[in-house]
A = this chain, B = another copy of it.
Protein backbone atom coordinates (compact mmCIF):
# COMPACT_ATOMS: atom_id res chain seq x y z
CA UNK A 1 0.00 0.00 0.00
CA UNK A 2 3.03 2.30 0.05
CA UNK A 3 2.91 1.84 -3.73
CA UNK A 4 0.83 4.94 -4.36
CA UNK A 5 1.02 6.53 -7.79
CA UNK A 6 4.03 8.88 -7.73
CA UNK A 7 3.67 12.64 -7.92
CA UNK A 8 4.73 14.27 -11.21
CA UNK A 9 8.36 15.32 -10.91
CA UNK A 10 9.24 12.86 -8.16
CA UNK A 11 12.06 10.32 -8.64
CA UNK A 12 9.71 7.37 -9.05
CA UNK A 13 7.61 9.30 -11.50
CA UNK A 14 10.58 10.11 -13.74
CA UNK A 15 11.73 6.51 -13.50
CA UNK A 16 8.46 5.17 -14.91
CA UNK A 17 8.27 7.74 -17.66
CA UNK A 18 7.49 6.00 -20.97
CA UNK A 19 9.88 6.88 -23.77
CA UNK A 20 8.79 9.99 -25.64
CA UNK A 21 6.11 9.13 -28.19
CA UNK A 22 7.65 8.24 -31.56
CA UNK A 23 6.19 10.86 -33.87
CA UNK A 24 6.89 14.01 -31.92
CA UNK A 25 5.74 16.16 -34.81
CA UNK A 26 2.30 15.27 -36.14
CA UNK A 27 1.44 14.28 -39.66
CA UNK A 28 1.69 16.79 -42.54
CA UNK A 29 -2.04 17.43 -42.82
CA UNK A 30 -3.03 18.05 -39.19
CA UNK A 31 -1.04 20.22 -36.80
CA UNK A 32 -2.27 18.25 -33.79
CA UNK A 33 -1.01 18.14 -30.24
CA UNK A 34 2.63 17.08 -30.14
CA UNK A 35 4.50 16.84 -26.85
CA UNK A 36 6.93 19.56 -27.77
CA UNK A 37 4.29 21.91 -29.05
CA UNK A 38 2.32 21.65 -25.83
CA UNK A 39 5.36 22.30 -23.64
CA UNK A 40 6.65 25.14 -25.79
CA UNK A 41 3.22 26.74 -25.87
CA UNK A 42 2.89 26.36 -22.10
CA UNK A 43 6.27 28.08 -21.58
CA UNK A 44 5.19 30.84 -23.95
CA UNK A 45 1.96 31.36 -22.03
CA UNK A 46 3.62 31.37 -18.61
CA UNK A 47 6.06 33.98 -19.90
CA UNK A 48 3.13 36.08 -21.04
CA UNK A 49 0.60 35.83 -18.23
CA UNK A 50 2.55 34.37 -15.30
CA UNK A 51 2.06 31.07 -13.51
CA UNK A 52 -1.05 32.26 -11.63
CA UNK A 53 -3.07 33.16 -14.70
CA UNK A 54 -1.76 30.24 -16.71
CA UNK A 55 -4.61 27.73 -16.96
CA UNK A 56 -5.41 24.54 -18.75
CA UNK A 57 -8.29 26.28 -20.49
CA UNK A 58 -5.95 29.00 -21.76
CA UNK A 59 -3.41 26.45 -22.95
CA UNK A 60 -6.09 24.41 -24.71
CA UNK A 61 -7.41 27.51 -26.45
CA UNK A 62 -3.95 28.61 -27.62
CA UNK A 63 -3.44 25.10 -28.98
CA UNK A 64 -6.78 25.27 -30.77
CA UNK A 65 -8.12 22.35 -28.80
CA UNK A 66 -9.99 21.59 -25.58
CA UNK A 67 -8.93 20.79 -22.03
CA UNK A 68 -10.22 17.24 -22.26
CA UNK A 69 -7.85 16.57 -25.17
CA UNK A 70 -5.01 17.99 -23.11
CA UNK A 71 -5.86 15.50 -20.37
CA UNK A 72 -5.53 12.66 -22.82
CA UNK A 73 -1.87 13.59 -23.37
CA UNK A 74 -0.91 14.76 -19.88
CA UNK A 75 -2.03 13.66 -16.47
CA UNK A 76 -2.68 17.22 -15.35
CA UNK A 77 -1.31 20.69 -14.88
CA UNK A 78 1.47 19.59 -12.50
CA UNK A 79 2.87 17.25 -15.10
CA UNK A 80 2.97 19.99 -17.71
CA UNK A 81 4.79 22.34 -15.33
CA UNK A 82 7.39 19.66 -14.59
CA UNK A 83 8.07 19.29 -18.29
CA UNK A 84 8.25 23.05 -18.80
CA UNK A 85 10.97 23.24 -16.14
CA UNK A 86 12.99 20.46 -17.73
CA UNK A 87 12.54 22.04 -21.14
CA UNK A 88 14.14 25.18 -19.72
CA UNK A 89 17.16 23.20 -18.53
CA UNK A 90 17.55 22.11 -22.11
CA UNK A 91 17.98 25.73 -23.15
CA UNK A 92 20.98 26.38 -20.89
CA UNK A 93 23.67 25.29 -23.39
CA UNK A 94 22.53 28.03 -25.79
CA UNK A 95 23.71 30.60 -23.27
CA UNK A 96 27.04 28.96 -22.57
CA UNK A 97 29.73 31.24 -24.02
CA UNK A 98 33.44 31.69 -23.55
CA UNK A 99 34.05 28.27 -22.04
CA UNK A 100 36.40 25.84 -23.74
CA UNK A 101 37.56 22.34 -22.71
CA UNK A 102 40.87 23.74 -21.43
CA UNK A 103 39.37 26.59 -19.41
CA UNK A 104 40.08 26.56 -15.67
CA UNK A 105 37.46 24.94 -13.48
CA UNK A 106 36.68 28.38 -12.14
CA UNK A 107 35.86 29.63 -15.63
CA UNK A 108 33.83 26.54 -16.42
CA UNK A 109 31.85 26.73 -13.20
CA UNK A 110 31.25 30.47 -13.52
CA UNK A 111 30.29 30.11 -17.16
CA UNK A 112 27.79 27.34 -16.47
CA UNK A 113 26.27 29.17 -13.53
CA UNK A 114 25.88 32.32 -15.60
CA UNK A 115 24.30 30.37 -18.44
CA UNK A 116 21.76 28.87 -16.07
CA UNK A 117 21.15 32.25 -14.50
CA UNK A 118 20.64 33.86 -17.88
CA UNK A 119 18.24 31.12 -18.95
CA UNK A 120 16.16 31.58 -15.84
CA UNK A 121 16.10 35.38 -16.00
CA UNK A 122 15.00 35.04 -19.64
CA UNK A 123 11.91 33.33 -18.22
CA UNK A 124 11.63 34.91 -14.78
CA UNK A 125 8.09 33.83 -14.16
CA UNK A 126 9.01 30.18 -14.63
CA UNK A 127 11.92 30.40 -12.19
CA UNK A 128 9.64 30.32 -9.17
CA UNK A 129 8.42 26.88 -10.21
CA UNK A 130 11.87 25.56 -9.33
CA UNK A 131 11.07 26.05 -5.68
CA UNK A 132 8.69 23.12 -5.73
CA UNK A 133 10.81 20.40 -7.31
CA UNK A 134 14.28 18.90 -7.38
CA UNK A 135 14.86 18.94 -11.13
CA UNK A 136 15.36 15.33 -12.22
CA UNK A 137 14.26 15.43 -15.84
CA UNK A 138 16.60 14.39 -18.66
CA UNK A 139 17.90 17.89 -19.38
CA UNK A 140 18.45 18.65 -15.69
CA UNK A 141 20.28 15.34 -15.26
CA UNK A 142 22.56 16.09 -18.19
CA UNK A 143 23.42 19.50 -16.77
CA UNK A 144 24.14 18.09 -13.33
CA UNK A 145 26.41 15.46 -14.84
CA UNK A 146 28.47 18.04 -16.70
CA UNK A 147 28.83 20.34 -13.70
CA UNK A 148 29.79 17.53 -11.32
CA UNK A 149 32.22 16.16 -13.90
CA UNK A 150 34.02 19.51 -14.06
CA UNK A 151 34.43 19.62 -10.28
CA UNK A 152 35.57 16.01 -9.95
CA UNK A 153 38.07 16.41 -12.79
CA UNK A 154 39.47 19.46 -11.01
CA UNK A 155 40.35 17.44 -7.95
CA UNK A 156 37.33 18.00 -5.75
CA UNK A 157 36.52 14.92 -3.66
CA UNK A 158 32.99 13.65 -4.42
CA UNK A 159 31.46 15.05 -1.27
CA UNK A 160 32.93 18.52 -1.79
CA UNK A 161 31.84 18.41 -5.43
CA UNK A 162 28.29 17.52 -4.41
CA UNK A 163 28.14 20.32 -1.85
CA UNK A 164 29.68 22.88 -4.16
CA UNK A 165 27.14 21.97 -6.83
CA UNK A 166 24.27 22.27 -4.37
CA UNK A 167 25.51 25.59 -3.02
CA UNK A 168 25.84 27.12 -6.47
CA UNK A 169 22.54 25.67 -7.62
CA UNK A 170 20.58 27.08 -4.71
CA UNK A 171 22.36 30.39 -5.07
CA UNK A 172 21.25 30.63 -8.69
CA UNK A 173 17.67 29.68 -7.91
CA UNK A 174 17.45 32.13 -5.05
CA UNK A 175 18.60 34.89 -7.34
CA UNK A 176 16.64 34.06 -10.45
CA UNK A 177 13.32 33.83 -8.64
CA UNK A 178 13.66 37.25 -7.12
CA UNK A 179 11.88 40.22 -8.70
CA UNK A 180 14.09 42.72 -10.47
CA UNK A 181 14.90 40.68 -13.55
CA UNK A 182 15.89 41.79 -16.97
CA UNK A 183 13.02 43.78 -18.32
CA UNK A 184 10.76 46.61 -17.30
CA UNK A 185 8.24 43.78 -17.17
CA UNK A 186 8.88 43.61 -13.44
CA UNK A 187 6.37 44.43 -10.80
CA UNK A 188 8.07 47.46 -9.32
CA UNK A 189 11.35 49.02 -10.28
CA UNK A 190 14.64 49.43 -8.51
CA UNK A 191 14.09 53.17 -8.65
CA UNK A 192 10.96 52.81 -6.56
CA UNK A 193 12.71 50.64 -3.98
CA UNK A 194 15.62 53.07 -3.77
CA UNK A 195 13.22 55.94 -3.14
CA UNK A 196 11.56 53.88 -0.46
CA UNK A 197 14.86 53.34 1.35
CA UNK A 198 15.65 57.04 1.05
CA UNK A 199 12.35 57.88 2.72
CA UNK A 200 13.24 55.93 5.87
CA UNK A 201 13.88 57.53 9.25
CA UNK A 202 17.62 58.31 9.45
CA UNK A 203 17.73 57.70 13.19
CA UNK A 204 16.27 54.21 13.00
CA UNK A 205 17.78 53.05 9.72
CA UNK A 206 21.29 54.54 9.39
CA UNK A 207 22.85 51.43 7.81
CA UNK A 208 20.00 50.95 5.33
CA UNK A 209 20.30 54.59 4.31
CA UNK A 210 24.06 54.27 3.84
CA UNK A 211 23.82 51.10 1.75
CA UNK A 212 20.46 51.94 0.15
CA UNK A 213 21.77 53.53 -3.02
CA UNK A 214 23.57 50.30 -3.83
CA UNK A 215 20.86 47.91 -2.74
CA UNK A 216 18.76 47.20 -5.79
CA UNK A 217 21.69 47.14 -8.18
CA UNK A 218 21.98 45.51 -11.56
CA UNK A 219 20.86 41.96 -10.94
CA UNK A 220 23.64 40.70 -13.19
CA UNK A 221 26.32 42.49 -11.19
CA UNK A 222 24.91 41.35 -7.89
CA UNK A 223 24.73 37.80 -9.13
CA UNK A 224 28.32 37.83 -10.36
CA UNK A 225 29.58 39.35 -7.11
CA UNK A 226 28.10 36.59 -4.96
CA UNK A 227 29.14 33.90 -7.42
CA UNK A 228 32.70 35.19 -7.21
CA UNK A 229 32.54 34.93 -3.43
CA UNK A 230 31.52 31.29 -3.68
CA UNK A 231 34.24 30.50 -6.22
CA UNK A 232 36.84 32.16 -4.02
CA UNK A 233 35.61 30.12 -1.09
CA UNK A 234 35.86 26.97 -3.19
CA UNK A 235 39.43 27.76 -4.24
CA UNK A 236 40.46 28.04 -0.63
CA UNK A 237 38.56 24.87 0.27
CA UNK A 238 40.29 22.97 -2.54
CA UNK A 239 43.83 24.10 -1.66
CA UNK A 240 43.33 23.48 2.05
CA UNK A 241 42.11 19.93 1.52
CA UNK A 242 44.51 19.40 -1.41
Query: Which one of B136, B192, B207 lies within 8 Å of A12 (CB-CB)?
Result: B192
Which B residues lie within 8 Å of A6 (CB)? 188
Which B residues lie within 8 Å of A208 (CB)? 141, 144-145, 148
In this assembly, does A68 line the interface, its C-beta being within 8 Å of a C-beta of chain B? no
Which B residues lie within 8 Å of A159 (CB)? 211, 214
Q: How far is the CA of A225 from the CA of B234 in the complex (A)?
A: 10
Question: Is the contact region of chain A dominated by helix, strand, or loop, or is it mixed?
Answer: helix
Whether the pair B187, A225 counts as a contact (CB closer than 8 A) is no
The stretch among A36-44, A58-66, A94-102, A196-204 that forms the contact with chain B is A196-204
Query: Which one of B167, B196, B204, B210 lies within 8 Å of A152 (CB-CB)?
Result: B210
Whether the pair A162, B217 counts as a contact (CB closer than 8 A) is yes
Q: How far is the CA of A3 from the CA of B133 in the complex (A)?
A: 38
Within 8 A of B (CB), among A129-149: 131-134, 136, 141, 144-146, 148-149
* Nearest neighbor of A171 in chain B, beta-carbon distance: B171
Q: How far is the CB of A185 from chain B (nearest CB, A)?
A: 14
In this assembly, does A71 line the interface, its C-beta being within 8 Å of a C-beta of chain B? no
The 4 A-B residue pairs with the shortest CB-CB distance in the complex, in nearest-first order: A174-B174, A229-B233, A167-B226, A11-B196
Q: A128-B128, A161-B211 are in contact. List 17 more A-B contacts (CB 8 A).
A: A6-B188, A10-B187, A10-B192, A15-B196, A134-B179, A134-B216, A145-B208, A158-B213, A162-B211, A162-B212, A162-B215, A163-B222, A166-B217, A166-B226, A167-B171, A167-B222, A233-B233
